[in-house]
Structure 1
Amino acid sequence: MTEKAILSEIHSLPENLRLEVMQYISFLKNKYVNGSDQPVQKKRVFGMAKGKYEMSDDFDEPLDEFKAYM
């Protein structure tokens, strides 16, 4: 599609749909940086979940339900 055809289609839309088109364009700009075809992945931070989870002291102990099989 040419630019002129795209603009013509956008102008034929109602105002609320034009707003959705603008939001989608912003989404695509944020997803793909510098014309790359691959989505941008955020860098993972080591230890980010530290302190959010707590394991009980008897985590490695056998479960009572399985004592008959041991």
Structure 2
Amino acid sequence: MQQTITKDQESSTNISLNDEVLKVFAKMPDALKIEVLHYAQYLLNKGIEESPIASDDIPKKKYRQAGTMTGQIVMLDDFDEPLAEMQEYMY
């Protein structure tokens, strides 16, 4: 529900909006009221906490550079040969 409110209507609408919220809240079971309370607290605190996106303290993502592991991995010449441990299962 989206509603446009002018400054003249704001005070009277705010009271009726508060009444409407309280009516709906009163009809909810306790478990749902707790969830609504947690969500309302989250929304209130959301603006207070500094967004990590705006912070300059975030480390920039480090991209991998090709070729840094050259010589670190060795492929043996008999890599494709059957393993000696598996001979009894073959043929």
- Taking structure 2 as the reference length, what is the TM-score of the superposition? 0.41
> Identity over aligned residues, as a percent?
18
Per-residue CA deviation, residues 18-66 of structure 1 (Å, 9 max, x unaligned), is 0000000011012124xxxxx95232316x58xxx9x8xx6175xxxxx
Pick 1 or 2: higher relative contact order, CA cutoff 8 A, min separation 6.
1
The one of 21, 41, 44 equivalent to 2:51 is 41
Q: Map of 1:1-70 to 2, 5 A cutoff?
A: 2-33=17-48, 40-42=50-52, 43-45=55-57, 59=68, 61=70
Number of residue pairs matched? 50
Moved over 6 A (4+): none
**Structure 2 regions of 5+ residues with no counterpart?**
1-15, 71-91
Aligned-pair RMSD on alpha carbons?
A: 3.6
**Structure 1 regions of 5+ residues with no counterpart?**
34-38, 62-70
3-state DSSP of counterpart to 2:45: helix
Query: Which protein is bigger by CA-based radius of gyration?
Result: 2
